[in-house]
Structure 1
Amino acid sequence: MNDSLLALLRRVDTPTVCNAIEVAQGKRGFDDFTRGTMLASDPSQVMVGYARTARIQAVNPPSEPPEEIRARRMGYYEYMAAGPRPAIAVVQDMDVPNAIGAYWGEINTNIHKSFGLSGALTDGVMRDLGDMPDGFPVVAGSIGPSHGFVHVIDYDQPVIVHGMPVAPGALLHADRHGAVVIPQEVVPQLEDAITQLFASEKIVLDKVKGQRIDFAEFEAIWAAFEASRT
């Protein structure tokens, strides 16, 4: 991903990226995105980056010896601090649909931001909404008050977040709509695909936004729109 594409992806929303992937692929049917409604700590922010993955639990306390738990926790933080940037922490909560432990609050968001990560994506819980740092959005499955017995199970393994499989290192785009995995094979064409998408949409939007048109006018507009997409 070059700097120009990264800057563009930071300016567009996730639905635009989903549509642009289909433009780049020349067909519909792409489905590597989240399902259901997710919650955004800051609806105005987008995040783009390579996945740093982990799994957590919080309903029940861990059963391993304390030294093993601490070693895994430190291994997790070392892993999150490493790797290519930009990066997103992608954390699957194994207690879903009964998740109670807010892993993402004031402490962890500030820690992960200090590692240079661009945000966090989880199907689990977030809290401390007024105390998270600027520039580190969290897109989560729910909001709750407690951290429960939250602990890391493993990291650097494939995860599933809101129905979307994510492999370590996958390129992600996420915002208040959810998240999408960007296929590596479309990355070289994605910037042009977004530009083409905007040009096609402009054909319709310039004629209908704030306007009153009849059906005959709409037919002509739609014909031009369809021609631009073929």
Structure 2
Amino acid sequence: MNEELLKLLKSVDTPTVCNAIEVAEGKRGFNRFTRGTMLCSDPDGGAIVGYARTAKISALAPPTEPADVIKTRRMAYYRYVSEGPRPALAVVEDVDYPNAIGAFWGEINTTVHKGLGLSGTLTNGVMRDLGDLPEGYPVVAGSVGPSHGFVHVKEIDTSVKIYGLDIGPGELVHADRHGALVVPAETIPVLGDAIRKLLDTEQLVLGPAREADFTFEKFEAAWSAFEKART
């Protein structure tokens, strides 16, 4: 992914990218996106774009493995997320979902992740310390809660499921206050052109609709032009 495409992806919302992927694929039916309502720590902060650094955590009960194993795995997790291609985001499945209680994503952990060069977090788990999270590090999460529970890392560099979306290590993810999606690798070379085409096409309807003298007849003509441009 080149810098031009990265800048473009960060400038548009996830629904736009979702539609643009269908433009790139030449058909409807793209379905690699989250289901349900997620929460964003910074709804106005723009999109998180990056390659997934994946893990699984749990917090409902104390770990059953020896303490030194848990500590070693946690340090291995931080080493893992500090490495790999950039931009990157932490994509972490809380296996306790839908009963997740452990806020792995508070002020300290998000600040550490930002310092290690990640762009944000996507999780079905819990976030906390709202208002104290570092600027420029959005978290898109399943819930908000006060406790960290017995949170511990269970798996690293593994396939995860976030709100119905399967995400593998290294896949390109786009996420914001609407949820998240995985960008198919085969669409990346043409995605920039698809986004620009989509935005231009939408103006065929949005432009006339925003004019003071907008009428049904003008809508009918605009929609006809819109439909032709989409095919």
TM-score by length of 2: 0.98
**After superposition, what is the alpha-carbon deviation per residue over 1:7-63, rounded to whole angstroms, capped at 9, x for unaligned?**
000100000000000000000000000000000000012110000000000000101
1:18 is the counterpart of 2:15: no
- Shift in Å, 1:214: 2.7
Whether the aligned pair in 1 keeps the contact of 2:57 and 2:92 (CA below 8 Å) is yes
- Corresponding position of 1:75: 76
**Superimposed CA distance per residue, residues 114-145 of structure 1 (whole angstroms, 9 cap, x where no aligned partner):** 11000000000000011110110000000000
> In the alignment, which residue of structure 2 is the partner of 1:66?
67
SS of the residue corresponding to residue 181 of structure 1 reads strand
- 2:62·2:150 contact (CA, 8 Å) conserved in 1? yes
Aligned partner letter, 2:13: D
Size of the alignment, in residue pairs? 230
- After superposition, the C-alpha distances for 1:70-122 in whole angstroms (9 at most, x for unaligned) are 11111111101110100000000001111100000001100100110000000
Determine the C-alpha separation between the residues in 2 that align with 1:65 and 1:155. Answer: 17
Q: Which aligned runs of 4 or more in structure 1 are off by greater than 3 angstroms?
A: none
**Residue number in structure 1 paired with 2:162:** 161
Give distance in 1, aligned partners of 2:109 and 2:230. 44
Counterpart in 1 of 2:107? 106
Find the aligned partners of 2:37 and 2:14 in 1 and give their Cα distance.
14
Per-residue deviation at 1:211? Answer: 3.3
Distance (whole Å) between structure 2 residues aligned to residue 212 and residue 136 of structure 1: 43
CA RMSD of aligned residues (A): 0.8
Offset, 1:212: 4.6
Note the residue ranges of structure 2 that are not aligned, 5 or more in a row. Answer: none
Cα separation, 2, equivalents of 1:114 and 1:86 = 13
Give the % identical residues: 63
CA distance in 2: counterparts of 1:164 and 1:221, whole angstroms: 35
**Is structure 2 residue 3 aligned with structure 1 residue 7?**
no
Q: What's the secondary structure of 1:48's corresponding residue? A: strand
| Whole-Å separation in 2 of the counterparts to 1:211 and 1:22 | 32
Read off the aligned partner of 2:153 and give its amino acid letter: V
Matching of residues 1-150 of structure 1 within 5 Å: 1-45=1-45, 46-150=47-151
Letter in 1 for 2:43: P
Task: Give how far 1:209 is off.
Answer: 1.8
Counterpart of 1:211, as a letter, is: A
Partner SS, residue 17 of structure 1: helix
CA distance in 2, matches of 1:135, 1:2: 21
Taking structure 1 as reference, are residues 60 and 12 closer, same or farther at Cα in structure 2, changes over 3 Å only? Answer: same
Q: 2:128 is matched by which residue type in structure 1?
A: R
Given residue 44 of structure 1, which amino acid in structure 2 is its aligned partner? D
Asked whether the 8 Å contact 2:208–2:218 carries over to 1, the reply is no
1:175 corresponds to: 176
1:163 and 1:5 map into 2 onto residues whose CA distance is 27
Partner SS state of residue 200, structure 2: helix
Which ranges in structure 1 are unaligned for 5 or more consecutive residues?
A: none
Q: Distance in 1 between matches of 2:214 and 2:204?
A: 14
Q: Alpha-carbon deviation of 1:215?
A: 2.3
Provide the secondary structure at the position in 1 that maps to 2:136.
coil
